[in-house]
Chains A and B, each alone.
Chain A
Amino acid sequence: MSANTKFAAGRREFLQQSGAIMVGFSLAPAAFGQQPAPKPARLPGSLNANRMLDNWLRINANGTVTVSTGKAELGQGILTALAQIAADELDVAYERIEMISADTSRSPNEGQTAGSQSVEQSGTAIHYAAAEARDILLQLAAARLGVAADKLVVADGTVTAGSAKTTYWELAQNVNLKREASARVKPRPPARHQVIGKSIQRRDIPGKVTGGIAYVQDMRLPGMVFGRVVRPPSRRAQLESCDEAAVRNMPGVVAVVRDGNFLAVAAGREEQAIKAAHALRTSAKWTESPDLPPQGMALYEHLQKLPSRDSVVNYKVGAPAGGGQVATLEATYTRPYQCHGSIGPSCAVAQMKDDKLTVWTHSQGVYPLRLHLSRGLRLPAASITAIHVEGSGCYGHNGADDVACDAALVARATNGRPVKLQWMREDEFGWEPYGSAMVMKLKARLDERGQIVDWQHDVWSHPHSTRPGSPTGSNLLAAWHIANPLSMGPPVNGPQPAGAADRNAVPLYEFPSQRIVLHYLPETPLRTSALRTLGAYANVFALESFIDELAAAAGADPVEFRLRHMKDPRARAVIEAAAQKAGWKPKQKGDGSRGRGFAFAKYKNLAAYVAVIAEVEVDRRTGKVQVMKAVAAVDAGLIINPDGVSNQIEGGIIQSTSWTLKEQVKFDRQRVLTQSWANYPILTFPEVPAVEVVLLNHPDERSLGVGEGSQGPTAAAVSNAIANATGKRLRDLPFTRERVKAALA
């Protein structure tokens, strides 16, 4: 059997061999958009929307357990962590757990895999579903063995009462999990965790380092052809003409698709598709018109003049705590458009057969993708199956969904042959939705004791979520370009307390008065959407930089100043742990080139607590900032996999250091100019800081999302470290050599 058919057969074989009594997973009513029964009791986590137990797990006669999640592996290790939870709650060895994920034909619908919520939502559901399944199995075992259920002992799925014994696998035939979860069986206490809390090695890494079939990019199906897309040269460009006939005659070309402003090709060989796409691009004539905003600092003036929807997202007025106000500070911070910059450009495989479409996709949300594909392609959702297969890391809404639509449009023209379509590097940089440019204006007043008595934060931002899933329109790029186009669904800012553009704009510190205002800018020619942390990266950068500016005005040490305003005991513990680990010396001044900075945030004000200390060295001659070292302290509640948490925190610190020092999308008034890594440099090995992570485990607290916890604090810690080192405050991201040099001149 060749590698390609192995991939295709893997899932079918599994279903045939698993020996389970259930033929398939039942789909909750919500999965098909029907109304659930009136007012059912609220169930924990994602159980609430996917209420059937067999939607989540299945006990197999062959000695395995199949756990199904609606969340997708994005390289964050979620399938390993969820398997750990299931193993402990069921009392079976970790190795027995098989995971399947995010597949509209057989997984729960858990929306998007986003917002550091997978352990909180899917993990909670699996805690409860597995605990209840164990209880059901024990009742069956008790009946079979003729003893009371509370006399049974379970070890790795073997149930014993004295000399009598049975196993889950013997009972598999009789277990009926086709029932609604009750959540009456509580997850086990932390003292009884055996697999949870251990740094179990990730399941996916051995294949990824030995050339295994690991990604959608590696899929091969019989008869498969290769697709490439030809995007317009700019946002408003209209196709006048192109030489389809010449391209059709090129070697290997199977299809040329022209539908409005959507152009694509398919060919028998990948390099033939690339050549054909190049020829089609070269022959195409477009009418272009400029509509992009100005670059540089003018961009931020421009943003503040755009039509905005303004809302006060948080407001509080209290009596000043102390004497008179002695100082008022104001500062403006900015953040440019930034890229996800996945190393592997987005890719999908699509097959259209008998009016049924199957797409294999690295989308973060297969159900919302199916909904928007259905609209864009004018195909009933029931005729579409969207199956998650891992891709290159996405860090939010990159081209994953768009390329699935591209592949589907090409698959309509290949007579049933599957199409693998991968974007080229310039497609990804040019057309991925960017993290929004943002302006943050802060203002605060200090009293004579150095207490902040009044705080104001205004943020201007475009949308941070324009993913597929909106109730109208289609948020797939090709759906806007085809001859019968749809427009983007109206963007909505996620509500507080998590927020979106205003994420983490509300301080966790205790100030007597505060006012947080969002100036939401729904219109943008440069599409923006979710980039890891949404607005939190820039809001925390501004908030935590400003705290340092106020600490300096109050003549206080930055750590002590934060503790002065912080009541939350877990936040205080994290701040103190980071300071201790890094050997923080109060009021230590930088020496002109070396310095250190502190920052803290509780992600979304409801997920992990993270404090970061950065040490920098600034080359005053060249302006180059090197982050030498970063130390982080983290409270993520109950930790499922400590090494997995550390990996996320370390990665977040390094990625944020790259955003903070280097990254911005470049464009002129008509075209995006960022096309390759040459135009979009990111942090390289010699520039990467050493990173140390301290985990404060709280096994009795619920797990808190951690995947996006370190990015915001890192940006501010670097900014504060530069100020500590040089005495100059930088407020405009990124801190490029040119900017640093200019500031120090």
Chain B
Amino acid sequence: MAITISVNGKQHSVDAAPDTPLLYALRNDLELNGAKFGCGLAQCGACTVIIEGKAVRSCATPLSSVAGKAITTIEGLGTSAKPHALQQAFVAEQAAQCGYCANGMIMTAKVLLDKNPRPTEAQIRKALAANLCRCGTHNRIVRAIQRAAKGAV
């Protein structure tokens, strides 16, 4: 059964069961690598995408529930040739080791900055409290978000 989803401003028809997690449609049908499988339980944040202004865990979001809604993935933010301020700031601060969690950090930060363009450090930490990083690059991630917020990329 084909379901039409709108990702990064384009319509895509995905032939999959309605309960298919959005994550697999993004990664396997649309060949978008940004959102990652981390837990499948909405616990870690690696799969985060933005749906109508909210940070959403795509591993626990059925395809049928997002038909017709505007979905943005990290690929929709910018490219390595033309990166978004947050992506640029993550490079400038070298805010990664393995980088597997980076997608979720950047997408969650995007939603935060859209609502609160000048967050305090504590607000940034709170906004990312449910995004897990295992390499211990948290402080670099916080600095990158502060850098992007200041527009000082």
Contact A205 B99 (CB under 8 A): yes
Q: Is A674 an interface residue when CB atoms closer than 8 A count as contact?
A: no
Q: Is A350 an interface residue when CB atoms closer than 8 A count as contact?
A: no
Closest to A707 in B: B97
Q: Is B12 an interface residue when CB atoms closer than 8 A count as contact?
A: no
Known contacts A208-B99, A217-B36: does B132 contact A343 (CB below 8 Å)?
Answer: yes
Residue-wise, chain A 175-208 has the 8 Å CB interface mask toward B (1 for contact) of 0000000000000000000000001011011111
Main secondary structure of the interface of A (DSSP, over half): loop
Contact B99 A651 (CB under 8 A): no
Measured CA separation A647–B87 after assembly (Å): 18
Contact A271 B24 (CB under 8 A): yes
Query: Which residues in A have their C-beta under 8 angstroms from that of B28?
Result: 220, 226, 269-270
Residue-wise, chain A 202-218 has the 8 Å CB interface mask toward B (1 for contact) of 10111111111111011
Interface residues of B in 1-35 (CB under 8 A from A): 16-17, 20-21, 24, 27-28, 31-34
Q: Is A34 an interface residue when CB atoms closer than 8 A count as contact?
A: no
Chain A min CB distance to B121 (Å): 10
Contact A2 B31 (CB under 8 A): yes
Q: Is A650 an interface residue when CB atoms closer than 8 A count as contact?
A: yes
Measured CA separation A391–B135 after assembly (Å): 13
Q: Is A321 an interface residue when CB atoms closer than 8 A count as contact?
A: no
Q: Is B46 an interface residue when CB atoms closer than 8 A count as contact?
A: yes
Known contacts A76-B97, A207-B80: does B140 contact A650 (CB below 8 Å)?
Answer: yes
Contact A688 B139 (CB under 8 A): yes
Q: Is A637 an interface residue when CB atoms closer than 8 A count as contact?
A: no
Query: Which residues in B have their C-beta under 8 angstroms from that of A201?
Result: 91, 94
Contact A422 B134 (CB under 8 A): no
Contact B16 A688 (CB under 8 A): no
Q: Is B131 an interface residue when CB atoms closer than 8 A count as contact?
A: yes
Chain B min CB distance to A630 (Å): 10
Measured CA separation A201–B59 after assembly (Å): 32
Contact B38 A344 (CB under 8 A): yes
Query: Which residues in A have their C-beta under 8 angstroms from that of B147?
Result: none
Measured CA separation A209–B148 after assembly (Å): 14
Query: Which residues in A have their C-beta under 8 angstroms from that of B38?
Result: 343-345, 425
- Residues of B in contact, count (CB < 8 Å): 60
Measured CA separation A677–B132 after assembly (Å): 9
Q: Is A279 an interface residue when CB atoms closer than 8 A count as contact?
A: no
* Tally of A-B Cβ pairs under 8 angstroms: 188
Measured CA separation A210–B128 after assembly (Å): 19
Contact A269 B16 (CB under 8 A): yes
Contact B132 A206 (CB under 8 A): no
Measured CA separation A187–B125 after assembly (Å): 45
Known contacts A215-B100, A269-B24, A686-B126: does B132 contact A210 (CB below 8 Å)?
Answer: no
Name, among A218, A393, A650, the residue most crowded by chain B CB atoms within 10 Å (CB to CB): A393
Closest to B134 in A: A343
One of A122-130, A162-170, A520-528, A652-660 at the interface: A652-660
Known contacts A3-B31, A269-B28: does B134 contact A395 (CB below 8 Å)?
Answer: yes
Contact A211 B135 (CB under 8 A): no
Residue-wise, chain B 76-88 has the 8 Å CB interface mask toward A (1 for contact) of 0111100100010
Contact B37 A75 (CB under 8 A): no
Contact B96 A214 (CB under 8 A): no
Query: Which residues in B have their C-beta under 8 angstroms from that of A218?
Result: 27, 33
Known contacts A3-B31, A211-B33, A650-B140: does B46 contact A344 (CB below 8 Å)?
Answer: yes
Interface residues of A in 1-41 (CB under 8 A from B): 2-4
Name, among A199, A270, A391, A690, the residue most crowded by chain B CB atoms within 10 Å (CB to CB): A270
Measured CA separation A77–B17 after assembly (Å): 40
Contact A393 B134 (CB under 8 A): yes
Q: Give the residue of B32, B43, B128, B138 whose beta carbon is less than 8 angstroms from that of A654.
A: B138
Chain A min CB distance to B146 (Å): 13
Known contacts A647-B94, A682-B132: does B142 contact A211 (CB below 8 Å)?
Answer: no
Measured CA separation A691–B99 after assembly (Å): 20
Measured CA separation A160–B120 after assembly (Å): 55
Q: Which 5 A-B pairs give the minimum distances between C-beta atoms?
A: A75-B98, A654-B136, A211-B34, A393-B98, A651-B136
> Mind listing 17 A-B residue pairs with CB under 8 Å?
A3-B31, A75-B96, A206-B80, A206-B83, A209-B102, A211-B74, A211-B75, A218-B27, A218-B33, A344-B38, A344-B100, A391-B100, A395-B134, A424-B40, A650-B137, A651-B137, A655-B136
